[in-house]
Chains A and B, each alone.
Chain A
Amino acid sequence: MDYKYIEQLLERYWACETTLQEESILRNFFAQNDVPASLMPYKSIFQCQVSTAEQHLSDNFDKRILSLIEKEQKESEKDTVKVRKVAMSYRLRPFLKAAAVVAIVLCFSMAVQTAMEHDQDQQTSNVINLPPQIVRGDIETANATTSSIVTDSLDRVQINKTTTVGD
Protein backbone atom coordinates (compact mmCIF):
# COMPACT_ATOMS: atom_id res chain seq x y z
CA MET A 1 0.00 0.00 0.00
CA ASP A 2 1.28 3.46 -0.88
CA TYR A 3 1.53 5.76 2.11
CA LYS A 4 3.14 8.61 0.20
CA TYR A 5 0.04 10.77 0.45
CA ILE A 6 -0.12 10.23 4.22
CA GLU A 7 3.59 10.97 4.59
CA GLN A 8 3.16 14.19 2.62
CA LEU A 9 0.19 15.15 4.72
CA LEU A 10 2.17 14.41 7.85
CA GLU A 11 5.06 16.62 6.70
CA ARG A 12 2.60 19.41 6.05
CA TYR A 13 0.99 18.73 9.44
CA TRP A 14 4.30 19.31 11.26
CA ALA A 15 4.74 22.54 9.30
CA CYS A 16 1.20 23.65 10.24
CA GLU A 17 0.16 23.80 6.58
CA THR A 18 -2.68 21.28 6.65
CA THR A 19 -6.33 22.21 6.55
CA LEU A 20 -8.78 21.02 9.19
CA GLN A 21 -10.08 18.44 6.73
CA GLU A 22 -6.60 17.05 6.05
CA GLU A 23 -5.94 16.82 9.78
CA SER A 24 -9.15 14.84 10.10
CA ILE A 25 -7.89 12.46 7.37
CA LEU A 26 -4.71 11.91 9.38
CA ARG A 27 -6.69 11.15 12.55
CA ASN A 28 -8.83 8.62 10.67
CA PHE A 29 -5.75 7.02 9.17
CA PHE A 30 -4.00 6.60 12.53
CA ALA A 31 -7.18 5.22 14.10
CA GLN A 32 -6.68 2.03 12.03
CA ASN A 33 -4.77 -0.95 13.32
CA ASP A 34 -2.52 -1.52 10.29
CA VAL A 35 -0.24 1.49 10.35
CA PRO A 36 3.21 1.03 8.77
CA ALA A 37 6.17 0.81 11.12
CA SER A 38 7.70 4.04 9.77
CA LEU A 39 4.61 6.01 10.85
CA MET A 40 3.96 4.10 14.05
CA PRO A 41 5.77 6.59 16.34
CA TYR A 42 3.16 9.22 15.51
CA LYS A 43 0.10 7.02 15.94
CA SER A 44 -0.24 7.83 19.64
CA ILE A 45 -0.30 11.60 18.94
CA PHE A 46 -3.45 11.26 16.85
CA GLN A 47 -4.96 8.68 19.17
CA CYS A 48 -4.39 11.10 22.01
CA GLN A 49 -6.36 13.75 20.14
CA VAL A 50 -9.26 11.33 19.68
CA SER A 51 -9.30 10.21 23.31
CA THR A 52 -9.13 13.84 24.49
CA ALA A 53 -12.15 14.68 22.33
CA GLU A 54 -14.08 11.96 24.15
CA GLN A 55 -13.62 13.56 27.55
CA HIS A 56 -16.85 15.04 28.85
CA LEU A 57 -18.51 16.33 31.99
CA SER A 58 -20.49 14.18 34.39
CA ASP A 59 -24.11 13.47 33.49
CA ASN A 60 -25.74 15.51 36.27
CA PHE A 61 -23.87 18.68 35.29
CA ASP A 62 -26.74 20.11 33.21
CA LYS A 63 -29.24 19.64 36.01
CA ARG A 64 -26.90 21.26 38.52
CA ILE A 65 -26.04 24.30 36.41
CA LEU A 66 -29.68 24.88 35.40
CA SER A 67 -30.83 24.82 39.02
CA LEU A 68 -28.06 27.30 39.92
CA ILE A 69 -29.13 29.58 37.11
CA GLU A 70 -32.77 29.41 38.16
CA LYS A 71 -31.76 30.30 41.70
CA GLU A 72 -29.64 33.22 40.51
CA GLN A 73 -32.49 34.48 38.34
CA LYS A 74 -34.93 34.42 41.27
CA GLU A 75 -32.48 36.29 43.47
CA SER A 76 -31.85 38.94 40.83
CA GLU A 77 -35.62 39.39 40.36
CA LYS A 78 -35.96 39.93 44.11
CA ASP A 79 -33.30 42.63 44.05
CA THR A 80 -34.87 44.44 41.10
CA VAL A 81 -36.53 47.79 41.99
CA LYS A 82 -39.97 48.08 40.44
CA VAL A 83 -40.98 51.45 38.96
CA ARG A 84 -44.28 52.79 40.36
CA LYS A 85 -46.16 55.94 39.41
CA VAL A 86 -46.68 58.33 42.32
CA ALA A 87 -49.45 61.00 42.18
CA MET A 88 -48.57 64.62 42.80
CA SER A 89 -50.90 64.83 45.84
CA TYR A 90 -49.11 61.82 47.34
CA ARG A 91 -45.72 63.45 46.75
CA LEU A 92 -46.83 66.71 48.38
CA ARG A 93 -48.48 64.99 51.33
CA PRO A 94 -45.48 65.40 53.70
CA PHE A 95 -45.26 69.13 52.94
CA LEU A 96 -48.99 69.58 53.47
CA LYS A 97 -48.73 67.76 56.78
CA ALA A 98 -45.85 69.98 57.86
CA ALA A 99 -47.74 73.11 56.80
CA ALA A 100 -50.82 71.99 58.75
CA VAL A 101 -48.75 71.38 61.88
CA VAL A 102 -47.12 74.83 61.55
CA ALA A 103 -50.54 76.47 61.09
CA ILE A 104 -51.96 74.74 64.17
CA VAL A 105 -48.96 75.75 66.28
CA LEU A 106 -49.20 79.37 65.07
CA CYS A 107 -52.95 79.57 65.78
CA PHE A 108 -52.50 78.11 69.22
CA SER A 109 -49.60 80.42 70.10
CA MET A 110 -51.56 83.47 68.88
CA ALA A 111 -54.56 82.46 70.94
CA VAL A 112 -52.40 82.03 74.04
CA GLN A 113 -50.65 85.34 73.40
CA THR A 114 -53.98 87.23 73.04
CA ALA A 115 -55.31 85.67 76.22
CA MET A 116 -52.15 86.56 78.13
CA GLU A 117 -52.16 90.17 76.86
CA HIS A 118 -55.79 90.57 77.92
CA ASP A 119 -55.00 89.37 81.44
CA GLN A 120 -51.97 91.67 81.64
CA ASP A 121 -54.09 94.73 80.64
CA GLN A 122 -56.61 93.92 83.30
CA GLN A 123 -53.91 93.65 85.96
CA THR A 124 -52.17 96.91 84.90
CA SER A 125 -55.39 98.90 84.90
CA ASN A 126 -56.25 97.60 88.33
CA VAL A 127 -52.83 98.62 89.77
CA ILE A 128 -52.74 102.27 88.50
CA ASN A 129 -56.49 102.68 88.56
CA LEU A 130 -56.68 103.74 84.99
CA PRO A 131 -59.23 102.69 82.54
CA PRO A 132 -58.14 99.66 80.62
CA GLN A 133 -58.36 101.69 77.37
CA ILE A 134 -55.27 103.67 78.38
CA VAL A 135 -53.29 100.66 79.26
CA ARG A 136 -54.16 99.08 75.97
CA GLY A 137 -53.21 102.26 74.07
CA ASP A 138 -56.60 103.31 72.64
CA ILE A 139 -55.54 106.92 72.09
CA GLU A 140 -58.86 108.64 71.34
CA THR A 141 -60.66 107.05 74.23
CA ALA A 142 -57.68 107.73 76.47
CA ASN A 143 -57.57 111.40 75.46
CA ALA A 144 -61.26 111.78 76.15
CA THR A 145 -60.97 110.07 79.51
CA THR A 146 -57.89 112.07 80.47
CA SER A 147 -59.49 115.37 79.60
CA SER A 148 -62.59 114.49 81.62
CA ILE A 149 -60.40 113.58 84.61
CA VAL A 150 -58.44 116.84 84.29
CA THR A 151 -61.62 118.88 83.96
CA ASP A 152 -63.06 117.14 86.97
CA SER A 153 -59.92 117.82 89.03
CA LEU A 154 -59.83 121.46 87.97
CA ASP A 155 -63.50 121.83 88.95
CA ARG A 156 -62.74 120.42 92.36
CA VAL A 157 -59.80 122.80 92.77
CA GLN A 158 -62.05 125.73 91.77
CA ILE A 159 -64.70 124.68 94.29
CA ASN A 160 -62.12 124.36 97.04
CA LYS A 161 -60.70 127.83 96.19
CA THR A 162 -64.13 129.39 96.30
CA THR A 163 -64.85 127.75 99.60
CA THR A 164 -61.54 128.95 101.08
CA VAL A 165 -62.05 132.57 99.85
CA GLY A 166 -65.60 132.54 101.24
CA ASP A 167 -64.29 131.53 104.61
Chain B
Amino acid sequence: MNETRFREDILPLKDKLFRMALRITLNREEAEDIVQDTLLKVWEKRDSWNQIASIEAYCTTICRNLALDRNSAARNSNLQLDENMDSAPLSTTPFEELSQREQIENTQRLIDSLPELWRSIMLLRDVEGKRYDEIATMLSVSESQVKVYLHRARTRLREQMTKVEKYGL
Protein backbone atom coordinates (compact mmCIF):
# COMPACT_ATOMS: atom_id res chain seq x y z
CA MET B 1 0.00 0.00 0.00
CA ASN B 2 2.64 2.51 1.14
CA GLU B 3 5.13 1.21 -1.40
CA THR B 4 2.62 1.65 -4.21
CA ARG B 5 1.93 5.22 -3.16
CA PHE B 6 5.64 5.87 -2.92
CA ARG B 7 6.18 4.57 -6.46
CA GLU B 8 3.24 6.45 -7.93
CA ASP B 9 3.19 9.76 -6.06
CA ILE B 10 6.60 10.39 -4.56
CA LEU B 11 9.21 8.76 -6.79
CA PRO B 12 8.10 10.77 -9.89
CA LEU B 13 9.09 13.95 -8.00
CA LYS B 14 12.75 12.87 -8.02
CA ASP B 15 13.83 15.03 -10.99
CA LYS B 16 12.14 18.14 -9.60
CA LEU B 17 13.85 17.55 -6.28
CA PHE B 18 17.12 16.92 -8.07
CA ARG B 19 16.90 20.25 -9.91
CA MET B 20 16.13 22.04 -6.66
CA ALA B 21 19.09 20.42 -4.88
CA LEU B 22 21.33 21.04 -7.89
CA ARG B 23 20.37 24.72 -8.04
CA ILE B 24 21.40 25.11 -4.40
CA THR B 25 24.50 22.92 -4.17
CA LEU B 26 25.69 23.36 -7.78
CA ASN B 27 27.10 19.87 -7.50
CA ARG B 28 25.55 16.92 -9.29
CA GLU B 29 26.73 14.11 -7.00
CA GLU B 30 25.78 16.01 -3.91
CA ALA B 31 22.37 16.85 -5.35
CA GLU B 32 21.77 13.16 -6.09
CA ASP B 33 22.66 12.23 -2.50
CA ILE B 34 20.29 14.90 -1.22
CA VAL B 35 17.41 13.53 -3.30
CA GLN B 36 18.12 10.05 -1.96
CA ASP B 37 18.15 11.31 1.63
CA THR B 38 14.96 13.28 1.02
CA LEU B 39 13.09 10.27 -0.34
CA LEU B 40 14.30 8.06 2.51
CA LYS B 41 13.18 10.67 5.04
CA VAL B 42 9.77 10.90 3.42
CA TRP B 43 9.52 7.09 3.39
CA GLU B 44 10.30 6.94 7.11
CA LYS B 45 7.38 9.30 7.70
CA ARG B 46 4.97 7.05 5.77
CA ASP B 47 2.62 6.69 8.74
CA SER B 48 1.81 10.41 8.60
CA TRP B 49 1.41 10.82 4.83
CA ASN B 50 -2.35 11.16 5.17
CA GLN B 51 -1.94 14.22 7.37
CA ILE B 52 0.20 16.04 4.79
CA ALA B 53 -1.77 18.45 2.57
CA SER B 54 0.67 18.43 -0.36
CA ILE B 55 3.24 15.68 -0.58
CA GLU B 56 5.11 17.60 -3.31
CA ALA B 57 5.43 20.71 -1.16
CA TYR B 58 6.50 18.52 1.76
CA CYS B 59 9.20 16.78 -0.29
CA THR B 60 10.44 20.06 -1.76
CA THR B 61 10.74 21.63 1.69
CA ILE B 62 12.72 18.67 3.03
CA CYS B 63 14.95 18.62 -0.05
CA ARG B 64 15.67 22.35 0.15
CA ASN B 65 16.44 22.19 3.86
CA LEU B 66 18.81 19.24 3.35
CA ALA B 67 20.50 21.03 0.46
CA LEU B 68 20.92 24.21 2.50
CA ASP B 69 22.35 22.20 5.39
CA ARG B 70 24.90 20.57 3.15
CA ASN B 71 25.68 23.59 1.15
CA SER B 72 28.85 25.22 2.19
CA ALA B 73 29.27 28.61 0.57
CA ALA B 74 33.04 28.43 0.77
CA ARG B 75 33.20 25.02 -0.85
CA ASN B 76 30.72 25.63 -3.61
CA SER B 77 31.12 29.32 -4.41
CA ASN B 78 33.52 28.63 -7.25
CA LEU B 79 31.53 25.82 -8.79
CA GLN B 80 29.34 26.44 -11.78
CA LEU B 81 26.84 24.24 -13.46
CA ASP B 82 27.73 23.53 -17.00
CA GLU B 83 27.60 19.79 -17.40
CA ASN B 84 24.05 19.78 -18.68
CA MET B 85 24.46 22.23 -21.46
CA ASP B 86 25.17 19.47 -23.98
CA SER B 87 21.50 18.98 -24.86
CA ALA B 88 19.87 19.36 -28.28
CA PRO B 89 21.57 21.53 -30.92
CA LEU B 90 20.73 25.16 -30.33
CA SER B 91 21.44 26.74 -33.67
CA THR B 92 22.02 25.98 -37.31
CA THR B 93 25.77 26.51 -37.73
CA PRO B 94 28.50 25.26 -35.38
CA PHE B 95 29.67 28.84 -34.78
CA GLU B 96 26.19 30.04 -33.82
CA GLU B 97 25.72 26.98 -31.67
CA LEU B 98 28.97 27.63 -29.82
CA SER B 99 28.06 31.27 -29.36
CA GLN B 100 24.62 30.41 -27.99
CA ARG B 101 26.09 27.80 -25.68
CA GLU B 102 28.42 30.40 -24.27
CA GLN B 103 25.52 32.78 -23.77
CA ILE B 104 23.51 30.14 -21.93
CA GLU B 105 26.49 29.30 -19.73
CA ASN B 106 26.96 32.98 -18.92
CA THR B 107 23.29 33.36 -18.11
CA GLN B 108 23.45 30.27 -15.91
CA ARG B 109 26.40 31.80 -14.05
CA LEU B 110 24.40 34.99 -13.54
CA ILE B 111 21.48 33.00 -12.16
CA ASP B 112 23.81 31.01 -9.89
CA SER B 113 25.23 34.25 -8.51
CA LEU B 114 21.79 35.36 -7.29
CA PRO B 115 20.81 34.82 -3.64
CA GLU B 116 19.67 31.26 -2.96
CA LEU B 117 16.04 32.16 -2.20
CA TRP B 118 15.72 34.14 -5.45
CA ARG B 119 17.21 31.21 -7.38
CA SER B 120 14.84 28.73 -5.77
CA ILE B 121 11.83 30.92 -6.53
CA MET B 122 12.94 31.34 -10.16
CA LEU B 123 13.42 27.60 -10.50
CA LEU B 124 10.01 26.75 -9.06
CA ARG B 125 8.25 29.34 -11.22
CA ASP B 126 10.14 29.30 -14.51
CA VAL B 127 11.24 25.66 -14.67
CA GLU B 128 8.72 23.73 -12.58
CA GLY B 129 5.78 25.97 -13.44
CA LYS B 130 4.45 26.40 -9.90
CA ARG B 131 1.84 28.92 -8.80
CA TYR B 132 2.88 31.68 -6.40
CA ASP B 133 0.88 30.20 -3.52
CA GLU B 134 2.51 26.79 -4.07
CA ILE B 135 5.97 28.36 -4.05
CA ALA B 136 5.12 30.24 -0.86
CA THR B 137 4.12 26.98 0.86
CA MET B 138 7.21 25.13 -0.34
CA LEU B 139 9.65 27.81 0.74
CA SER B 140 7.79 28.86 3.91
CA VAL B 141 7.47 32.51 2.87
CA SER B 142 4.46 34.68 2.07
CA GLU B 143 3.01 34.93 -1.44
CA SER B 144 3.82 38.63 -1.63
CA GLN B 145 7.44 37.89 -0.68
CA VAL B 146 7.60 35.34 -3.50
CA LYS B 147 6.48 38.00 -5.99
CA VAL B 148 8.88 40.60 -4.59
CA TYR B 149 11.90 38.27 -4.74
CA LEU B 150 10.97 36.98 -8.20
CA HIS B 151 10.61 40.53 -9.45
CA ARG B 152 14.01 41.44 -8.04
CA ALA B 153 15.61 38.34 -9.55
CA ARG B 154 14.15 38.96 -13.01
CA THR B 155 15.02 42.64 -12.92
CA ARG B 156 18.62 41.85 -11.91
CA LEU B 157 18.86 39.30 -14.69
CA ARG B 158 17.40 41.70 -17.25
CA GLU B 159 19.86 44.43 -16.26
CA GLN B 160 22.78 42.05 -16.45
CA MET B 161 21.72 40.73 -19.84
CA THR B 162 21.32 44.25 -21.19
CA LYS B 163 24.78 45.17 -19.89
CA VAL B 164 26.31 42.10 -21.50
CA GLU B 165 24.63 42.94 -24.78
CA LYS B 166 25.58 46.62 -24.70
CA TYR B 167 29.06 46.54 -23.27
CA GLY B 168 30.01 42.88 -23.51
CA LEU B 169 30.47 42.70 -19.68
Contact = CB atoms under 8 A, between A and B. Distances in A.
Tell me the interface secondary structure of chain B in the complex.
helix
A129 interface: no
B8 interface: no
Interface string A1-42: 000000000000111100010011000000001000000111
Interface string B139-159: 000000001001100110110
Nearest to A10: B158
A6 B103 CA distance: 21
A11 B35 CA distance: 36
Contact of A33 (B43, B91, B128): B91
A64 interface: yes
B44 interface: yes
29 contacts: A14-B158, A20-B131, A23-B129, A41-B164, A43-B103, A44-B103, A44-B161, A45-B157, A48-B104, A48-B107, A49-B126, A51-B84, A51-B104, A52-B123, A53-B127, A53-B128, A54-B84, A55-B19, A57-B14, A57-B32, A58-B32, A61-B35, A64-B36, A65-B14, A65-B36, A66-B11, A68-B36, A69-B40, A72-B40
A162 to B, nearest CB: 114
B90 interface: yes
Contacts of A61: 14, 32, 35-36
Contacts of A16: 147, 150-151, 154
Interface of A: 13-16, 20, 23-24, 33, 40-45, 47-49, 51-58, 61-62, 64-66, 68-69, 72-73
